[in-house]
């Protein structure tokens, strides 16, 4: 760093000298001369900096910013995430490979409820970004799980904005520790893939503020990302990338974001409007956008001040990048060490949904009959830009073998053959980034074959899978709901094994929520690892054997049935094509009629039964919660609660703090998540006191009429839950003075 500064200083001094002597422009960009550089740039150069361009520095990177050699402005490299770095693993004429680690997907990371863990994971991820010569990781994705069918939910965290925001902030901090950037995306309200390029999300200001922007607000303030990616969709009539209200009034002026905003890939025609709105960088960038900016500047529709403002932000970004610093990347990150990080992260996040009669943990000595196409075709991540090229994704069959289980060999071979048959189709689908649909044809096994297997084995483990990805939403039939083969297999397994007093364990290797209410009684235990990355199968096996005591909890609600979900009334399920302008009139807009009543906010307030509530997850041990304490001060309150492991094995507990606001003022959900904490690994009998802080601002609701955040006076209940439906302790306090925070209208 010192050396860079010295070089920079020398180049500045020499630059000035040479400029004075010969009047040629040799001044090169450095941290301290951004304004001078802007003063030397032609408008053409300025427009060039605002538009991405082609590049070949890192094959498989999603995009580049353009170089201006005479000013010492290097090209910078942008590549996808969020489950790891996405670059091409092979390069022509080179034997070396460039694989990256496939970490657990965001939904699984959120299930850890452990921001520190997330930060550790993304510190490793960011090292791969740095060592492979990339400047910005295009992640985290953080749109809310408004509806379970959104095809990219696995790239996102939760139905709750606080959990989503805290996870994204931790993600950003971890990656950026490496001196590389992140791009928080897709800002905002990109909650569906159907017609994602054109769909107009029509949302009330209150729902926007409290839900769809709140998670971004937390991530921006607490994570300080270098960049933000605006989304493709419209929001209340304007493309988000062209919305001054969103990109300047809220993001910059109100939240204090000081980085660059880039478009999502494939810019709209309104380049000028985007630039004026505060969208600094058009990606992936075309010459026509440079021409448009230049024309607008010369005719005055983009002022010189606006142009320079965007250029200044770009240069501030560029001077931070490894490419600018001349970092000599190794192309050799420690993939072995990172695989361990990925495995540990999955272990800490997997959720145990059901465990009747202590079916789990298994002893490890059992003869296991392992069922399901997904036992081999394991879904580590998902498809689309979120997929990472890893050199290997462990399968359940492999992980169980490695852990020393005796698997039913005939059955294992049967699935190997079946998988080989299916592979050609699967491969075709994998290579298709766009419009991927996952129809997994489960193998048909006769009831007779299953009864024989039940006689020969001690326990059945069925791995049930779902894949999904960018460009398409999931559908209800055969995806959210089980298909006929899966249902039949479950029923037959359940009858055959239960008839002999043996157990059935189901592993849900799914990218998003599926229906569970109609079949969960058939299984004795259900383990939910989501899409857990390249090492996830090993982590699942460690949970099955009890080597790991599960401590993950649900970051969203599992409804009894799809139609119970409020957004089912307007989410365009069943029309799962991405679509381009004009092609899909029926999904031109989506009215978010459910307003703030998303997920548990709706179910809990209206007493609608669910299959599994938000925040739910079992453990192999039990925990008791002490009487909590709450101390108020002028900024909010601090709560403490002591958790004790009352069971027989070590374990970690997530404690969720919900607040129920007094009646009066705005109508509010019955309870809202306002903080959470996770204990360390507690030995049997061991206790830990968790401290959680909540500010008054965080307790406020958004009053659209006044465009202000407001807290009502009165009695607030602070609830400590093992899930939203399992409150273990409550304490209350009186808020004597109402407070409000006015904000500027967005439009």
Rounded to whole angstroms, how far apart are CA atoms 745 and 741?
A: 12
Nearer to ligand BGC, 100 or 353 (CB): 100
Instruction: Please identify, using beta-carbon distances, which residue of 15 and 386 lies nearer to ligand BGC.
Output: 386
Q: Is 28 or 146 the residue whose CB approaches ligand BGC more closely?
A: 146
**DSSP string spanning 516-534?**
-TTTGGG-SEEEE--S--T
Q: Which is nearer to ligand BGC, 226 or 676 (CB)?
A: 226
Question: Within 668-707, which residues bind ligand BGC (CB under 6 A)?
Answer: none
Q: Where are the beta strands (DSSP E) in 686-725?
A: 687-695, 701-703, 708-711, 714-723
CA–CA gap between residue 544 and residue 539 (Å, rounded): 9
Q: Considering the rule CB under 6 A, would residue 527 count as an interface residue with ligand BGC?
A: no
Among 90, 43, 92, 93, smallest CA distance to 68 is for 43
The residue behind tokens 């399992």 is 726
* Nearer to ligand BGC (CB atom), residue 434 or residue 697: 434
The minimum distance between CB 152 and ligand BGC, in angstroms, equals 8
Edge-first strand order for the sheet with 181-187 is 63-65, 76-80, 136-138, 181-187, 227-230, 260-262
Which of positions 452-491 make contact with ligand BGC (CB under 6 A)?
470
> What six digits make up the tokens of 331?
């192309």
- Contact pattern for ligand BGC over residues 367 through 386, marking x by CB under 6 A: ------------------x-
* Least distance (Å) between residue 23 CB and ligand BGC: 42
- Both tokens of 274, joined, read 């985007």
User: If binding is defined by CB under 6 A, does position 154 make contact with ligand BGC?
Assistant: no
Residue 185 touching ligand BGC (CB under 6 A):
yes
**Site residues for ligand BGC, window 612-641 (CB under 6 A)?**
none
Q: Is 171 in the site for ligand BGC (CB under 6 A)?
A: no
Using the minimum distance from each CB to ligand BGC, give the nearer residue, 278 or 471: 471
Query: Does residue 264 have an active-site annotation?
Result: yes
DSSP string, 145-166: -SSTT-TTGGGS--SSHHHHHH
- Residue count, binding to ligand BGC (CB under 6 A): 8
Q: Dihedral of the CA atoms 28, 31, 34, 35 (nearest 10)? A: -120
- Tell me which of 114, 135, 238, 264 is the catalytic residue: 264
134 lies in the binding site for ligand BGC (CB under 6 A): no
In the complex, minimum distance from the CB of residue 143 to ligand BGC, in angstroms, rounded to a whole number: 10
Judged by CB under 6 A, does residue 264 bind ligand BGC? Answer: yes
Q: Indicate whether 387 belongs to the interface with ligand BGC (CB under 6 A).
A: no
Question: Closest distance between ligand BGC and the C-beta of residue 330, in Å?
Answer: 24
d(CA 119, CA 533): 16
How many C-alpha atoms does 419 have within 13 Å on its Cβ side? 16
Interacting residue with ligand BGC among 27, 130, 138, 352 (CB under 6 A): 138
Asked if 125 interacts with ligand BGC (CB under 6 A), we say: no
62 is a contact residue toward ligand BGC (CB under 6 A): yes
Distance, CA of 707 to CA of 254 (rounded, Å): 13
Q: Which is nearer to ligand BGC, 321 or 385 (CB)?
A: 385
Integer Cα distance of 514 and 148 in angstroms: 8
523 is a contact residue toward ligand BGC (CB under 6 A): no
Alpha-carbon distance of 119 to 134, in angstroms, equals 19
The structure tokens 């094959």 sit at 59
Q: Which of 265, 324, 480, 562 is close enough to bind ligand BGC by CB under 6 A?
A: 265
Question: Closer CB to ligand BGC, residue 267 or residue 341?
Answer: 267
- Residue 157 engages ligand BGC in binding (rule: CB under 6 A): no
Query: How many angstroms separate the CA atoms of 110 and 165, rounded?
Result: 10
Residues ≥6 apart with Cβ < 8 Å to 399 = 537, 538, 540, 541
Residue choice 80, 193, 387, 594 for contact with ligand BGC (CB under 6 A)? 80
**Catalytic residue set:** 264
Positions that interact with ligand BGC (CB under 6 A): 62, 80, 138, 185, 264-265, 385, 470
């Amino acid at each position: 760093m010192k050396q860079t500064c010295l070089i920079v200083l020398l180049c500045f001094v020499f630059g000035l000298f040479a400029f004075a002597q010969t009047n040629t422009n040799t001044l090169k960009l450095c941290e301290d001369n951004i304004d001078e550089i802007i003063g030397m740039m032609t408008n053409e150069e300025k427009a060039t900096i605002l538009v991405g361009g082609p590049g070949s520095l890192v094959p498989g990177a999603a995009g580049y910013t353009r170089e201006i050699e005479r000013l010492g402005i290097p090209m910078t490299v942008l590549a996808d995430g969020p489950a790891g770095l996405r670059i091409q693993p092979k390069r022509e004429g080179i034997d070396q490979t460039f694989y990256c680690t496939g970490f657990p997907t965001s939904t699984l990371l959120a299930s850890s409820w452990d921001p520190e863990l997330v930060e550790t994971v993304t510190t490793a991820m960011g090292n791969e970004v740095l060592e492979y010569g990339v400047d910005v990781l295009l992640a985290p994705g953080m749109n809310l799980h408004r509806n379970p069918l959104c095809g990219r939910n696995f790239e996102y965290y939760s139905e709750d904005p606080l959990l989503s925001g805290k996870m994204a902030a931790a993600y950003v901090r971890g990656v950026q520790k490496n001196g590389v950037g992140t791009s928080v995306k897709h800002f905002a309200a990109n909650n569906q893939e159907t017609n994602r390029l054109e769909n107009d999300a029509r949302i009330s200001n209150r729902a926007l503020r409290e839900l769809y922007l709140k998670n971004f607000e937390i991530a921006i303030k607490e994570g300080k990302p270098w960049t933000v990616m605006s989304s493709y969709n419209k929001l209340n009539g304007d493309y988000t990338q062209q919305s001054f209200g969103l990109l300047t009034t809220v993001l910059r002026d109100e939240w204090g974001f000081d980085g660059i905003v880039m478009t999502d890939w494939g810019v709209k025609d309104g380049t000028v409007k985007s630039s004026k709105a505060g969208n600094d960088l058009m990606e992936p960038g075309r010459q026509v956008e440079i021409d448009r900016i230049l024309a607008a500047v010369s005719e005055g529709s983009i002022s010189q001040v606006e142009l320079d403002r965007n250029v200044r932000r770009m240069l501030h970004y560029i001077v931070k990048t490894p490419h600018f610093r001349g970092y000599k990347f190794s192309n050799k990150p420690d993939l072995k060490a990172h695989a361990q990080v990925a495995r540990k992260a999955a272990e800490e996040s997997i959720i145990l949904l059901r465990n009747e009669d202590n079916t789990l943990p298994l002893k490890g000595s059992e003869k296991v009959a392992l069922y399901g196409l997904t036992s081999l075709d394991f879904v580590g991540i998902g498809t689309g830009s979120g997929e990472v090229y890893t050199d290997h994704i462990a399968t359940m069959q492999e992980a169980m073998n490695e852990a020393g289980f005796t698997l039913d060999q005939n059955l294992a071979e049967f699935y190997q053959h079946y998988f080989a048959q299916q592979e050609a189709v699967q491969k075709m689908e994998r290579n298709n980034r766009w419009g991927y649909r996952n129809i997994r044809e489960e193998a048909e096994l006769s009831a007779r074959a299953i009864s024989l297997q039940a006689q020969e084995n001690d326990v059945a483990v069925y791995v049930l899978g779902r894949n999904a990805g960018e460009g398409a939403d999931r559908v209800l039939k055969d995806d959210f709901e089980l298909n006929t083969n899966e249902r039949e297999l479950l029923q037959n397994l359940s009858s055959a094994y239960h008839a002999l007093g043996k157990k059935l364990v189901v592993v849900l290797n799914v990218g998003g929520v599926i229906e569970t209410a109609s079949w969960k009684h058939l299984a004795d235990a259900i383990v939910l690892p989501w899409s857990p990355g390249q090492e996830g199968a090993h982590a699942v096996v460690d949970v099955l054997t009890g080597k790991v005591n599960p401590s993950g909890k649900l970051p969203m609600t599992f409804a009894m049935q799809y139609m119970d979900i409020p957004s089912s009334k307007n989410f365009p399920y069943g029309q799962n094509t991405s679509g381009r302008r004009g092609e899909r009139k029926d999904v031109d807009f989506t009215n978010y009629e459910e307003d703030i009543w998303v997920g548990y906010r709706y179910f809990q307030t209206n007493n609608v039964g669910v299959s599994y509530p938000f925040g739910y997850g079992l453990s192999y041990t039990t925990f008791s919660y002490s009487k909590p304490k709450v101390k108020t001060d002028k900024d909010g309150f601090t709560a403490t609660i002591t958790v004790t492991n009352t069971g027989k094995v070590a374990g970690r507990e997530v404690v969720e703090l919900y607040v129920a606001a007094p009646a009066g003022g705005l109508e509010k959900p019955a309870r809202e998540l306002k903080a959470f904490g996770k204990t360390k690994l507690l030995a049997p009998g061991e206790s830990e006191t968790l401290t959680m802080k909540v500010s008054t601002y965080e307790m406020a609701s958004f009053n659209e009429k006044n465009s202000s955040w407001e807290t009502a006076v009165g009695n607030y209940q602070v609830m400590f839950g093992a899930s939203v439906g399992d409150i273990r302790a409550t304490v209350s306090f009186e808020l004597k003075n109402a407070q409000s925070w006015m904000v500027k209208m967005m439009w």
